[in-house]
Structure 1
Amino acid sequence: MKLFVKNLTHVDLSYFDAQRGLLGESWQTDIVLAGKLNDESMICDFSIVKKQIKKWLDEHIDHMLAIPAEYAGTTLTPLANDRVSFQFDHSKETPNDHRRFQCDAPTQAICVLPMNDITPDAAAKWVESQILDLLPAELEAVSVRFFPEKIDGAEYQYSHGLKKHAGNCQRIAHGHRSTVEIYADGVRNDVMEQDWATRWNDIYLGTQDDLDKIIEENGRQYHGFRYTSQQGLFELVIDSNQVYMLDCDTTVESLSAHIADVLAEENPGVHIEAHGFEGIGKGAISEKIKART
């Protein structure tokens, strides 16, 4: 006998890809529980198990940076004060690719996955191996499915950090897969949407206040970010080609306002309404119009 839960939760994270670099991601989560019926003609107490699994996901992968620990370019180094340094050297696999990436953060912000490539299926199998022993004894198996939202229009994957946030959004490298809706004079404009998705393709959205340095190495430029929040000291070094700088915090409210401001500036006299999404099914709306001169 099996029980299922569709869309148990959404997992928002960033993960590192050997070719594309840092990627924001949002996965919907389905689970299937298998076991024998108990005296109450139930497999288990559904509500308790749902809470247990969601709590585990919140604590072990959600709003974290997931890294492929078995990939040749990955180096993990413990630091003082329960921190860890993740470094990735692309040249280990591609000799002519001299890009590098580094994130030094509290250990709780890093999810170490024992694999070469991070995919929804591989991550789900890892979760299954970790949680079964935590669940009631009458459960014989648990199946987890991660999958991105089905988006028919424009989408982009972004990573960021919100140092002022009291929760896990303060982590410097967590992210989302998001769609965007843009209306010009009340009519949805897919050209503007696709254009914006291109601008923010595989992007790190950086806040000017958090920029610590610009680095030149081996003919490449890197942005170095640094800040201290409630969870501790966070540092990030990332290829400048993957960075989009803003003069504001990267909350979804500020991001939708930025989209509206830029598009209004580029299209004088047109009323712009930007729906910025933060992952799946949530976001903010901003409106702007710039008078023609």
Structure 2
Amino acid sequence: MQLFVNDLTVIDFSYLCESRGVVGESWIVDVLLSGDLNAESMVLDFGIVKKQIKAIIDESVDHKLVLPGESKQLSISKSPRSGHLYVDFNLTDNAMFLQSPAQAFAVIDTPKIDEESVTRYLEGVIKQQLPENVQGIQLTLRAEHIDGDYYHYTHGLKKHDGNCQRIAHGHRSKITIFQDGQHSKDLEQYWSQRWHDIYLASDSDQVAVEQIELSDFAKQNLRPDHQYFCYYAPQGRFDIAVRKGTLEIVDCDSTVELLADYIARQLKQQAPEHSFKVVAYEGVGKGAIASA
């Protein structure tokens, strides 16, 4: 017997990629369970599927930086801070160095993070926690179908009490822009290109190189154009070094509300004689609207 739940959840996370650098992503999760009927004549109660399996997925990947454990460019080591890790991704053009609480990372034994490797990882984690009558699980991870333009961004929210505080998690997000009440594909394409695989940092979190906490290896491999950001949040201290080519520093926190406002203000500054409405998404099916 098989039981399915489509659109079980959405995982919003970022991952490290040798060709793209850091990539913000949002994947919809469908689940298919196989097994015998239990004493309640069910494979598994829908309430358990929606609550327990979703919780396992969220704990394993959601709002984390997912690391390809077999990448030769990746190094993971313990930080002197209790429960913290150094992560060094030493790409020639997109080198990124971090210190964060260990819970902000997920390591998958693969050279490349993609739908297949994350699916295998999650299925293995979930199988260990299923009742005996459930013999099989099949997950489908899929990106939202978007007809228009979108961007992949990575960020962190130091003021957030939940997992959004992690300094390198992200989203794949649609954007819709209206100029003087008319839909503008050109402006949408511009912002999707501007924020293609971008790291968005708040100017209030920027620090000098002397203030950053990174591994000795990272400090020896920093480039002149690396920029440094750090903050304390309830889960611990977060540090990151990002090169200018994959970075935009915004004059606000990077909540979706303020990012929508940031884009609207940027557009208004460039063309003050026009009016703009920005519909910015944060992952799938949620977002904010700002006008200028």
TM-score (norm 1): 0.92
**Residue of structure 1 equivalent to 2:216:** none
Q: 2:255 aligns with which of 246, 251, 254?
A: 251
Q: Equivalent residue for 1:195?
A: 190
**Which of 191, 207, 212 matches 2:207?**
212
* Counterpart check, 1:149 vs 2:150: no
- Give deviations 1:43-96, integer Å, cap 9, x for gaps: 121211321111111212100000001111111101231011111122xxxxxx
**Identity across aligned pairs (percent)?**
39
Pair 1:242 & 2:237 matched: no
1:93 is matched with none
Change (3 A) 1:201 1:114: same
- The structure 2 residue matched to 1:102, chosen from 97, 101, 104, is 97
> How far apart, in 2, do the equivalents of 1:84 and 1:169 lie?
18
User: Could you tell which deviates more after superposition, 219-228 or 143-152?
Assistant: 219-228
**Structure 1 residues 33 and 226: alpha-carbon distance in aligned structure 2, compared to 1, 3 A threshold:** same
Q: Secondary structure of 1:158's partner? A: strand
**1:216 Cα deviation after fit:** 11
Contact 1:10–1:26 (Cα < 8 Å) also in 2: yes
Structure 1 pair 161–218 and aligned structure 2 pair: CA distance change class (3 A): closer
CA contact (8 A) 1:32 1:142 kept: yes
Taking a change above 3 Å as real, the CA distance of residues 217 and 158 of structure 1, as seen in their structure-2 partners, is same
Q: Structure 1 residues 108, 277: closer, same or farther in 2, change over 3 A?
A: same
Gaps of 5+ in 2: 210-218
Scaled by the length of structure 2, what TM-score is found? 0.93
- CA gap 1:154/1:216 in 2 versus in 1, 3 angstroms: farther
1:41 is displaced (CA, Å) by 2.9
Aligned to 2:62: 62
Tell me which residue corresponds to 1:222: 226
Q: State yes or no: 1:138 paired with 2:139.
A: no
Distance in 1 (CA, whole Å) between partners of 2:173 and 2:93 is: 30
Contact 1:99 1:220 in 2 (8 A): no
Asked whether the equivalents of residues 121 and 145 of structure 1 are also in contact (C-alpha less than 8 Å), the reply is no
Post-superposition offset of 1:265: 1.8
In structure 1, distance between residues paired with 2:39 and 2:60:
33
8 A Cα contact 1:205 1:250, kept in partner: yes
In 2, the alpha carbon distance for the partners of 1:206 and 1:39 equals 52
Q: Which residue matches 1:15?
A: 15
* 2:88 pairs with 1:84: no
Is 121-130 or 169-178 further displaced after alignment? 121-130
Q: Distance in 2 between matches of 1:219 and 1:278?
A: 31
How far apart, CA to CA, are the structure 2 residues paired with 1:89 and 1:39?
Answer: 53
Q: What is the root-mean-square deviation of aligned Cα atoms in Å? A: 1.6
Q: Which runs of 5+ in 1 are unaligned?
A: 91-96, 289-293
Distance 1:98 1:186, change over 3 A: closer
* Kept in 1: contact 2:108–2:117 (CA 8 A): no
2:108 maps to 113
Amino acid at match of 1:235: D
Separation in 2 of the partners of 1:168 and 1:219? 30
2:285 counterpart SS class:
coil
Query: What is the one-letter code of the residue matched to 1:266?
Result: Q
Q: Distance in 2 between matches of 1:212 and 1:220?
A: 14
Aligned in 2, Cα 1:59/1:219: closer, same or farther, shift over 3 Å? closer
CA 1:253–1:21 in 2, change beyond 3 Å: closer, same or farther? same
Cα 1:165/1:142, change in 2 over 3 Å? same
Q: Does residue 262 of structure 1 match 2:266?
A: yes
Letter in 1 for 2:28: Q
